[in-house]
Structure 1
Amino acid sequence: MQDLIKRILSARVYDVAIESPLDPMPRLTGRLGSPVFLKREDLQPVFSFKLRGAYNKLASLPADALARGVICASAGNHAQGLALAAQRLQVEATIVMPRTTPAIKVEAVKRRGGQVILSGDTFDEAYAQARQIELQQGLTFVHPFDDLDVIAGQGTIGLEILRQHPDPIDAVFIPIGGGGLAAGVATIIKFLRPDIKVIGVEPHDAAGMAASLQADERVTLSQVGLFADGVAVRQVGEQTFRLCREFLDEVVTVDTDAICAAVKDIFDDTRAIAEPSGALALAGLKAFGPASSTSGSRIAINSGANLNFDRLRHIAERAEIGERREALLAVTIPEHPGSYRAFIQALGPRPVTEFNYRLSGSGPAHVFLGLGLSEGEREKREIVDILRRQGYGVEDMTDNEMAKLHVRYMVGGRVVGIENELLLRFAFPERPGALLKFLDGLTPDWNISLFHYRNHGDDHGRVLAGIQVPADDRPRFHNRLDELGYPYWDETDNPAYRLFLDGAG
């Protein structure tokens, strides 16, 4: 700890970084009943905190190491931070990025003088290539998080928070990917102000630090969610795990909808647009539970704003659900004249945000319904109870990921007579040839019976596919999918499939 404290106190970051402001969030403060502040690392020259650690690492290297040049693997923020740091110090920088990296991030690195090598479809593949080039060319590798000088550079954020907010602080919330930011900030805050709670925040589907702390050793996640791509790390660092285990009070996890709602909160209070990982800490602050009005302020670190514009439509769709201001329901109504009118009367004057229905035969009809809420979960439960008392079948789809990503856009696609259909949700890399690779992995015996894809401006596309696979051939089918390497989820038993897409439903 003493060594790291010295490194933080002597870190060289302000040659390139700014002391980012600590902005009040008056609207969110009014809703939560206690003061909320946002540490604005999205205002750094590369729109991310990563510049601090990258520059501090380079500034600490001996001249001969700098002369050989530096290399890193990154899909975005660390790459831009290292490129700018190397440009300022007149050092040659090689950045290995996955081929799936959006063009806007690749161009940002090139503009700052970085030599970009595109390799692999994932960060792990790019990382392996970078380490190989390091050995072949004698370059100096700059780790994105598991390095004490990188951690110390990020720790300067903690010093700024304590200097900028001398009033009582209840808790500081920090996003966690590999753990470099959390390790640095937690160490300095606990050294200077041990009374302040330091809370790490991770997505539900990329909670490597939470899993490691629970197991009391580093664990490797089999797969990670890609929505908050800035923190999509399968294994946290060795140094960062040791420090977070000692200095973090707790790690909380949040889902995609909560992150989208936090992006909207940041926009409402500051008119800034955060990337999903940048809004992660604020989502954790909101989920942590109410603070008393006398316990002090709560502070969340907005870690970055490197967001593809195309992703905003997906965030906007999910923000109201994240705030529990919208409910998504599958409602079964009788298929006869007058039933539609009776159903609308049962809903009363409540605002309808979505209504999807298509005649599918003589049986009951299934409606995909969106309703605006003003009183959150309590109001949703009341609506469900009212509908059920009037004889309607109701399934809550508000937290059904497949329904929100795909089915709401596919109502009316039911086909009768499809045999042996499996329904699978995939994350395809956004690059030419990804679909062909998928199709080449299937045999002609397995027919694709359904396919739905939406581009969310991300480095991975969300795909829903129906595939006809006889029961006795399914072990071989799953082996092929494992060999393909695309993350996937079996949705065959999902009620949204049964109600809206399955011809036998």
Structure 2
Amino acid sequence: MALLEQVLKNALTVPVYDVAEETPLELAPLLSQKLLNQVWLKREDLQPVFSFKLRGAYAKMVKLTPAQKAAGVIAASAGNHAQGVALSAKKMGIKAIIVMPQTTPPIKVNAVKRLGAEVVLHGEAFDEAAVYAKQLMREQGLTFIHPYDDEDVIAGQGTIALEILRQHPTPFDVMFVCVGGGGLIAGIAAVLKKIWPKTRIVGVEAEDAASMTQALAAKERVVLPQVGLFADGAAVAQVGEKPFEIALHCVDEMITVTTDEICAAIKDVFEDTRAISEPAGALAVAGLKKFVQQRGVSNLSLGAIVSGANMNFDRLHHIAERTELGEKREAIFAVKIKEEPGSFKRFCEDLGAQRVITEFNYRYADDQEALVFVGVRTAGGYAEQQQLVQHLRELGYEVEDMSDNELAKLHLRHLVGGRVPGLMDEKVYRFEFPERPGALLNFLSRMSVEWNISLFHYRNHSDAFGRVLVGVQVPDQHHADFEAYLDCLKYPYTSEQDNPGYRLFLSSK
């Protein structure tokens, strides 16, 4: 395929080391021992801007004509690509404008400004920022630097594969690469498949942002109606045209991972390197672990790209909270116990003397039964978790496993004990509110005065979006109007009306 040949040719000749570093390929001894395979980490988190993105940005910008350099460049990005373009522009002595969403955390905005680029804040999400960036491009005669859908950008990312070939003379059995827009996996696959055709290339996406997974399954690019934002560096609704074309020929399979699995992978990288990856940066490691667990393989040589480390420190609390669940070293349950003295002690005895309780949330409801939210330390993975549920049920307890319930993990464990008898017509939704002034006021001002807020729980992890659980009393005859209101808000939302966590702990019924 002509595109593959051009990417390989460009990767061999682009002078990325004007700005980038050749990053190490390191054996991960602890992860290797745990997984019974040789695991190697390609440390792109050690780049000057803490991600691989400057390779592709510079590969594109170094080929600009003198007139294009004189006019300057523009990009739309909320993070890593912005810093890559800004550093490349500084190195080349040209003007750079970066359009970032208004929700971009200050730490990322300031990082771009320190590199000398002009920052323009526009829109609530990347798509709006990109549209405005292209408007400025036309008005000012600037050159747009695309984050992934460009053969020169793809070739820049392909230089990572050239380094791997030098650093690991024997072919890997499997190489794992995170996927957002697809530029990284396209560049790596185009180079590796040419030299190591038997190496299996596996792309890894967050399960709530699986645009490449769906595109390859459909044999055409798709547009996701909504993408999850936890792995924000790879949260793309539609993969690029050129990356998709390469992926069709060179990517062997895709794996999707959960938020909890990403958090566990961040911990794994830390334990082997003492470095903290951003969620997108640990995607490949999460996929590698899942691949090994699902296939039961051993004694293979496995590589993973640690693609970035641009993360706000404040997010670490949330990540640590979810890591044990991702490793299946903790399970959370809703359990009914008798409302009588000694019932908690008896429950702990029934769990087993050696079992560690990680949390216990309870509030009195009536004098017959108590409903508790309990976290329990486990060591044997999913099988042990299921055995524990069965054990408790055999002892007469009513148990609901909440370990994979987002409502429970994000909100319930901080909000247990809110059942209100007689509450009528309550609708419950999870939202992602943009972290900017006026977001809550916008939510409230558009709401009909005939609807009453019955529940509100907000959590922020220093992301561009806060997680919000909202209950609203809406009479059935107003349901169509309420759905229209939700769509008009343009805040991503999920109905939790049928969630067992809501039914057990919060519903009035």
TM-score category of the 2 structures, normalised to the smaller one:
over 0.9
Where 1:288 maps in the other structure, the secondary structure is helix
- Offset of residue 374 of structure 1: 1.4
- Offset of residue 501 of structure 1: 1.2
Q: 1:488 maps to which residue?
A: 493
Q: Quick one: distance in 1 between partners of 2:363 and 2:320? A: 26
Q: 1:463 maps to which residue?
A: 468
Q: How does 1:421-500 map to 2 (within 5 A)?
A: 421-500=426-505
2:11 paired with 1:8: yes
What's the % identity of the aligned pairs?
58
Deviations for 1:99-147, whole angstroms, at most 9, x for unmatched residues?
0000000000000010000000000000000000001111000000000
* Contact kept in structure 2, 1:79 and 1:95, CA below 8 Å: yes
Q: Quick one: distance in 1 between partners of 2:68 and 2:369? A: 72
* Contact kept in structure 1, 2:181 and 2:239, CA below 8 Å: yes
Q: Quick one: distance in 2 between partners of 1:182 and 1:168? A: 17
- RMSD value over aligned CA atoms? 1.0
Q: 1:277 maps to which residue?
A: 280
Q: 2:82 aligns with which of 60, 79, 82?
A: 79
Per mean C-alpha deviation after superposition, the further-off stretch among 158-167 and 330-339 is 330-339
Where 2:430 maps in the other structure, the secondary structure is strand
Structure 2 residue runs without a partner (length 5+): none
Letter matched to residue 485 of structure 2:
R
Distance change >3 Å, CA 379–CA 277, structure 1 → 2: same
Q: 1:340 maps to which residue?
A: 344
TM-score (norm 1): 0.98
- Offset of residue 293 of structure 1: 4.3
Q: Quick one: distance in 2 between partners of 1:116 and 1:212? A: 33
Q: 1:239 aligns with which of 231, 237, 242?
A: 242
Q: Quick one: distance in 2 between partners of 1:344 and 1:112? A: 56
Where 2:237 maps in the other structure, the secondary structure is coil
Q: 1:144 maps to which residue?
A: 147
Q: 1:197 maps to which residue?
A: 200
- Offset of residue 168 of structure 1: 3.9
Letter matched to residue 259 of structure 1:
I
Q: 1:401 maps to which residue?
A: 406
Q: How does 1:185-334 map to 2 (within 5 A)?
A: 185-289=188-292, 290=295, 292-294=297-299, 296-334=300-338
* Contact kept in structure 1, 2:171 and 2:196, CA below 8 Å: no
Q: Quick one: distance in 2 between partners of 1:353 and 1:264? A: 19
- Offset of residue 167 of structure 1: 2.7
Letter matched to residue 147 of structure 1:
D
Q: 1:17 maps to which residue?
A: 20
Deviations for 1:150-172, whole angstroms, at most 9, x for unmatched residues?
00000000111111011341111
Q: Quick one: distance in 1 between partners of 2:20 and 2:368? A: 64
Q: Quick one: distance in 2 between partners of 1:208 and 1:62? A: 34
2:129 paired with 1:135: no
Letter matched to residue 351 of structure 1:
V
Distance change >3 Å, CA 19–CA 501, structure 1 → 2: same
Runs of 4+ in 1 over 6 A off after TM superposition: none
Q: 2:367 maps to which residue?
A: 362
Letter matched to residue 136 of structure 1:
E
Q: Quick one: distance in 2 between partners of 1:490 and 1:8? A: 46
* Contact kept in structure 1, 2:162 and 2:191, CA below 8 Å: yes
* Contact kept in structure 2, 1:413 and 1:501, CA below 8 Å: yes
TM-score (norm 2): 0.98
Where 1:206 maps in the other structure, the secondary structure is coil
Q: Quick one: distance in 2 between partners of 1:377 and 1:481? A: 36
- Offset of residue 291 of structure 1: 6.3
* Contact kept in structure 2, 1:34 and 1:291, CA below 8 Å: no
* Contact kept in structure 1, 2:35 and 2:298, CA below 8 Å: no
* Contact kept in structure 1, 2:72 and 2:143, CA below 8 Å: yes
Deviations for 1:231-263, whole angstroms, at most 9, x for unmatched residues?
010111011110111110011100000000000
Where 1:260 maps in the other structure, the secondary structure is helix
2:181 paired with 1:178: yes
Q: 2:126 maps to which residue?
A: 123
Per mean C-alpha deviation after superposition, the further-off stretch among 403-412 and 282-291 is 282-291
2:97 paired with 1:94: yes
Where 1:169 maps in the other structure, the secondary structure is coil
